Structure 1
C-alpha cells in the first residue's frame, strides 16, 4: 500500500517525526534495517529510551503507522526523511555509516519527483558532498532536477512540554529554491513555522552552531562552578542574580557532565574525502575538554566530602540518584552517571542507584543494585549524589534523610546539601 511519507531510521529522531506526521493525518511508513525496533513497534512497545510511551506507539499504529524492514516500501512514497544516527566515531569524527546505508537503500528505489529530506545531525557539506552522490549514483536521477533534496536538522527537546514538534520552528535548506519550497510544503503540515535557510550547508551549520552553543556555555558555567567552590562563592546565587539581566545574558547551569544525542562538532572534521580543511574550532575543543573532565571533578568532590566526615571512598556506600542525561526522561545517551559509577567502583566504593525512569542499570555489563525505598537507601548510604533532578524527587525531604548529600544540579534548597 503506498504511503505519503517514509521515515528512515526508527530511533530517537525518527519516532517523534512519525508521531507528528501521524497526528497530522499523513500516511506514514517507517523503515529500519534493524528488525528489532520494527518488531518492538509492531508489538506496541517503544524500542528506544525517550519521551514516547507504549500508549504513544499504540496510537501511532492505530493511526496507520506501519513499521517495516522491507526497502521496497521506499519506492512508493512522495517524501522520504532520513533520520539515521550519526554518532562520533573513535577518531572523534562523525560516523556516517548508517546514513550511507539509508541513502543506498533509498537510492535503489528512488522515483522522480520524490522529496528527500535529511534530519540527521551532520557536518556542513554532508547533504551535497555525501548524500547527494549516493542518491544520484544509486538511482540514475539528478538531485534538483529529477527529485528534491533538502536538509532540515532535527530540533528535538525530549520531554519538553512547552516546545513541542509543532511549536518549534523548522529550519530548511534545499539544494535549489524548488527543493526548499517542496520541503517547506511538507514541514508546513507539521510545524507552525518554517524558516528557509540559504542552502543545505547553512541548514547543517545551524545545527552545529546550536549544539556547540550549548556545549560552550555549559563549559563556561562548569568552569565557574569549580572556581566558585574554590573561592567559597555560591555559584547558584550568582546565576540567580545574573539571570535577572534583561539583555546580553542567557542562563546555563553546571552539572556532572553533558549528555544527550547532540555532540559538539568541529566542521573541519568531515568524514569523507574531498573536504576542504578549515580552521579548527578551538573554543569547541576546549569546551569539550572542560565538560569531559566534570565527572572526574564530581569524584574529587565525593572523595573530599567523605574524607571530611572521616570516611574513605574505599568501602563507602554511595547512592547515585538519576542516571539519565535529562530530567523526567529514560534516555541515558552519554549521561555522565556511568563514568562516575565506573570511577567510584574502581576506587572501591559500593554503588547503588535510584531512578524512577530506569528499572535496570548496568555498568561494565554488571547490574547495579537499584534502591526500592529511596529514603531508606539514602539514610543507609555514606554518600548520596544527585546526578539528575527528576520531578518526582522530594529534595528537601531527601536532604533530611541522607547522611551526606552532594547535589550536582543545584536543585536542593540553599544550605540543605553540598552543591557543585
Structure 2
C-alpha cells in the first residue's frame, strides 16, 4: 500500500494537532527519525516558541528541538489549511471535564472539523487524546465522513492512547509501548506501521478503537483506585496511631499479590484525577453505576481538606490557630521534579489555608509563580530563614532540589505529606500523613 511505503521510506509528511505535553514530544520523536512534521496549535505563543526552537515541555530536549527546526524537519503553525500537505495527522488535544464532571470533548470536535476540511484520499487520522470508549467511532468518524470520503475505503482512522508520565527517568515517549486500534483491520495495520517506524517501544494491536479507548481509561482508573486505597489507609492509620508508611514498606516485602501505592495530599495532573470520570459518564448510557470509581474519586478529591484538617490539629497541639500562623509549603507541582501544576492538590490546600486566615508562603524550584482564580502566587526562594520563620513547614511536593537535611535542622514543626523526611534527622517535631 502506498501510505505504508511512504511511512517506511520516511517520505510521509506528518501533522500533529496540539503541541502540549503529549503532542510536542510526539512531534519531536517523529521528526527525529526522519519524517517531515508540521505542528498545529491555536496558541500563537506555542507556535512561535517551536519555530524559534525553544522548548516549554519537560520531556523534550531543547537542543534536539532547535536542531530539528533549523534543519527544516519541523515547523509549527496556526494555519490549519496546511493539513492539505500531510499524509498523516495525529490529534493530541486536551480532554478536560466541565463543571459537572462530564467530558468536554470540544477540542477533539473542533480539531476534527478542521481536519475534515482538508481530508484527502489515503490520509491516516489517529486520535491520541484520552477519552471515553466510543469517541473515535461515534464522534470523530462521522465528522470526517462529512467530507464525502468513507472511512476504511478513502481514508484511515485509528485510536492510539497517549502514554506520558512526566518526570519518569526510564520511560518516555520514545520507549513506552503503544496500543493501537483502528476502525478496520487495515486502519489498525497502517497506524501500527507508523508507530513501529517512530518509537522503540513495542506496538500492541487491538481489535477496535473502543478497546484502545477503554484500555487507557483502565490504566488510569487502576491507579486512581489504588491511590484512593492508600489515602484511606493513611487516614485510618492516623486515627489509630499507626505509621502508614511503615505498613506499606512491610506489605511490599511480599513478592506477589501486592503492588505498593502511596498516599499523598491529593491527586494532580491531567490524567488520573480526570480520566475515570469519562468512564463513569459513559457508563450511565448503559444503565450502570460505577460505584467503586466514584468513591475512589471522592476519597482522592477530599485529601486537600484532610491535609488542612491535620494542619489545624498539629497547630492546635502547639496552642496555635491556623488563623495568623505562618505556614510554609514546599512544592506546588502535582508530582516530584516536574513543572506541571495542573489539577495540583496543593493549590486547593493554599486556597483553604488562606480562607482560614493563614499566612501562606510556598517555594517550588520548578514553578516560579502560578495564577488561580485571578490571584497570582509567587514562589519565595527556599532558605533556612523561611524555614525558621514558619510556624509549620509542610512538604507537599518532594522535589529532589530541596535540602531535606536543612529542613530537618531549621524547621520548628514539619508536616510531611510525601514521606520525604524518611531517614533524615529532625531536630524538632515531625508529623507525617
TM-score, length of structure 1 as denominator length: 0.94
Aligned to 2:325: 316
Asked whether the 8 Å contact 2:131–2:278 carries over to 1, the reply is no
Aligned to 2:190: 182
Question: Does residue 385 of structure 1 match 2:375?
Answer: no
Alignment of 1:6-155 (within 5 A): 6-47=15-56, 50-52=58-60, 54-63=62-71, 64-137=73-146, 139-155=147-163
Aligned to 2:431: 418
Q: Which deviates the most, 29-38 or 297-306?
A: 29-38
Question: Does residue 159 of structure 1 match 2:172?
Answer: no
Shift of 1:322: 0.8
CA–CA separation in structure 2 for the residues paired with 1:348 and 1:97: 39
Q: Give the RMSD, CA atoms, in angstroms.
A: 1.8
Asked whether the 8 Å contact 2:280–2:294 carries over to 1, the reply is no
CA–CA separation in structure 2 for the residues paired with 1:407 and 1:296: 15
Aligned to 1:306: 315
> Would the alpha carbon gap of residues 289 and 373 (structure 1) be closer, same or farther in structure 2, given more than 3 Å must change?
closer
Question: Does residue 370 of structure 1 match 2:382?
Answer: no
Shift of 1:268: 4.8
Flag structure 2 segments of 5+ consecutive residues without an equivalent.
Answer: 1-10
Q: Which deviates the most, 82-91 or 408-417?
A: 408-417
Note the alpha carbon deviations across 1:105-145, whole angstroms, 9 max, x for none: 001101111111000001000000000000111x2111111
Aligned residue pair count: 414
Asked whether the 8 Å contact 2:363–2:379 carries over to 1, the reply is yes
Shift of 1:41: 2.2
Asked whether the 8 Å contact 1:86–1:122 carries over to 2, the reply is yes
* Secondary structure of 2:87 counterpart: strand
CA–CA separation in structure 2 for the residues paired with 1:53 and 1:363: 29
* Secondary structure of 1:80 counterpart: strand
Asked whether the 8 Å contact 2:227–2:261 carries over to 1, the reply is yes
Shift of 1:72: 1.5
CA–CA separation in structure 1 for the residues paired with 2:349 and 2:279: 30
Note the alpha carbon deviations across 1:348-406, whole angstroms, 9 max, x for none: 00111101111123344333343224222111111111111111112232122111111
* Secondary structure of 2:337 counterpart: coil
Shift of 1:56: 4.9
Asked whether the 8 Å contact 2:336–2:397 carries over to 1, the reply is yes
